Amino acid sequence: MSKLVTIYGGSGFVGRYIARRMAKAGWRVRVAVRRPNEALFVKSFGAVGQVEPVLCNVRDDASVAAVMLGADAVVNCVGILAETSRNKFGTIHAQSAGRVARIATEQGVASLVHLSSIGADLEAASEYSQTKGQGEVEVLEHFPTATILRPSVIFGAEDGFLNKFAFMSRLGPILPLVGATTKFQPVFVDDVATAAEVAILQGKSGVYELGGPDVLTLRLIVEKVLAVVHRRRLIVNKPFFAGSIVAGLLDFTQAVSLGLVRNGILTRDQVKSLRSDNIVEEGAKGFSDLNITPTNMDAIMPSFLWRFRPDGQFDDIRDSAKNLKA
């Protein structure tokens, strides 16, 4: 019988790519999610019955243990970018990560891959990075041979990064940025999935910082997005104190509306994160140690950002028609 991997958060942005790769490698895949009926699309990643979404609450020991039963490997992709009234950084990034690692050890799972992030540190300025750091501590305490993947900002067709800026470019002639000079090392989502696959199949362990081939400022990233979507916009660098005020108002609106209005634009914690560069630390293990060549962002962006162009997929045809002589 083929081996089994349980992927917590396996229908999410990164998890679905890992699920697809593990299915192609011949593994049975159990996708542990809060709402299995919304994750039925993962079934198409493999043969009939090979990939199955199952109900799981990562806050509950019994639920986590039940979906892990019989697994040869476990991947934890559960994470949030912003808090809500029900989902807190500490609960998701630290407590739940520790729970998955502890139960994996109790059940004798051979390998555990934990998705963290560059900048994870107990002493970080943002609570997001602090709890990511605490999660790593919890994981290694219970499962010392775990593989921890720390990607920089992840891009791909379903991302909330490049797509967000492309959408914002539709809203007006000015595009305000907080942290325009902050450096990132954008990494393609399928490269992160490949790292998880290699870690499982080759029995890797340790901490790997995953960054793409280019180090770019946020401003340059947005300029690349604008070039792809064929829009001209004035990029205005907003100081951090101004960004904090705007983010505070957005957070307050979410709080007083009891979550009915979601702050998906900018939170105060994200402003704190933007004060620090998000790049691979010198000397850290990374893609090269996994024999993976990271994908260039420029090669991927047009494949999914074309829909934000003024005429969508017809933009290139329109430009070509302009060159025709009457």
Asked whether residue 311 carries a pLDDT value surpassing 90, the answer given is: no
pLDDT tens for each residue of 222-238: 999 999 999 999 999 99
The one-letter code for the residue type at 129 is S
Give pLDDT, residue 313.
Answer: 76
pLDDT band at 309 (very low <50, low <70, confident <90, very high): very high
For residues 317 and 70, the model is more confident at 70
**Distance in angstroms (rounded) separating the CA atoms of residues 132 and 138:** 10
The CA–CA distances, whole Å, from 267 to 146, 168, 204, 263 equal 31, 16, 35, 7
Give pLDDT, residue 95.
Answer: 97
Domain interval for residue 100: 4-153+188-211+277-294
**C-beta of residue 268 within 8 angstroms of C-beta of residue 244:** yes
Is 76 within the bounds of a domain?
yes
Is 26 within the bounds of a domain?
yes
Is 229 within the bounds of a domain?
no
Q: What is the DSSP string of 46-104?
A: SSTTTEEEEE--TT-HHHHHHHHTT-SEEEE----SS--SS--HIIIIIIHHHHHHHHH
- Kind plus residue range of the DSSP H or E element containing 249: helix 240-256
Burial 26-51 (b: 16+ CB within 10 A, else e): ebbbbbbbeebeebeebbebbeeebb
Give pLDDT, residue 259.
Answer: 82
The domain that holds 207 is classified in CATH as 3.40.50.720
Give pLDDT, residue 34.
Answer: 95
pLDDT band at 258 (very low <50, low <70, confident <90, very high): confident
Give pLDDT, residue 325.
Answer: 57
**Distance in angstroms (rounded) separating the CA atoms of residues 30 and 193:** 16
**Distance in angstroms (rounded) separating the CA atoms of residues 52 and 39:** 9
Is 172 within the bounds of a domain?
no
* Local structure of residue 194 (DSSP, 8 states): H
- How many domains is the chain built from? 1
Give pLDDT, residue 32.
Answer: 98
pLDDT tens for each residue of 110-150: 999 999 999 999 999 999 999 999 999 999 999 999 999 99
Asked whether residue 84 carries a pLDDT value surpassing 90, the answer given is: no
Give pLDDT, residue 122.
Answer: 97
Residue 221 CA, distance from chain mean position: 17
Q: What is the pTM (predicted TM-score) of this model? A: 0.94
Give pLDDT, residue 225.
Answer: 98
**Distance in angstroms (rounded) separating the CA atoms of residues 129 and 112:** 21
**C-beta of residue 137 within 8 angstroms of C-beta of residue 116:** no
- Kind plus residue range of the DSSP H or E element containing 162: helix 162-168
pLDDT band at 322 (very low <50, low <70, confident <90, very high): low
pLDDT tens for each residue of 186-213: 999 999 999 999 999 999 999 999 999 9
pLDDT band at 319 (very low <50, low <70, confident <90, very high): low
Q: What is the mean pLDDT of residues 79-100?
A: 93
Question: What percent of the chain has a predicted confidence (pLDDT) above 70?
Answer: 97
Give pLDDT, residue 264.
Answer: 86
**C-beta of residue 208 within 8 angstroms of C-beta of residue 270:** no
Is 97 within the bounds of a domain?
yes
Is 220 within the bounds of a domain?
no
Is 52 within the bounds of a domain?
yes
Mean pLDDT (the chain, rounded): 95
3-class DSSP state for residue 197? Answer: helix
Asked whether residue 326 carries a pLDDT value surpassing 60, the answer given is: no
The pair of three-digit structure tokens given for residue 89, joined into one six-digit string: 């950084």
Asked whether residue 36 carries a pLDDT value surpassing 90, the answer given is: yes
Is 46 within the bounds of a domain?
yes
Q: Name the region of 139 (left: φ>0; alpha: ψ -120 to 50; beta: rest).
A: alpha
**276 — phi, psi (to 5°)?**
-120, 140
**Distance in angstroms (rounded) separating the CA atoms of residues 183 and 277:** 5
**29 — phi, psi (to 5°)?**
-125, 125
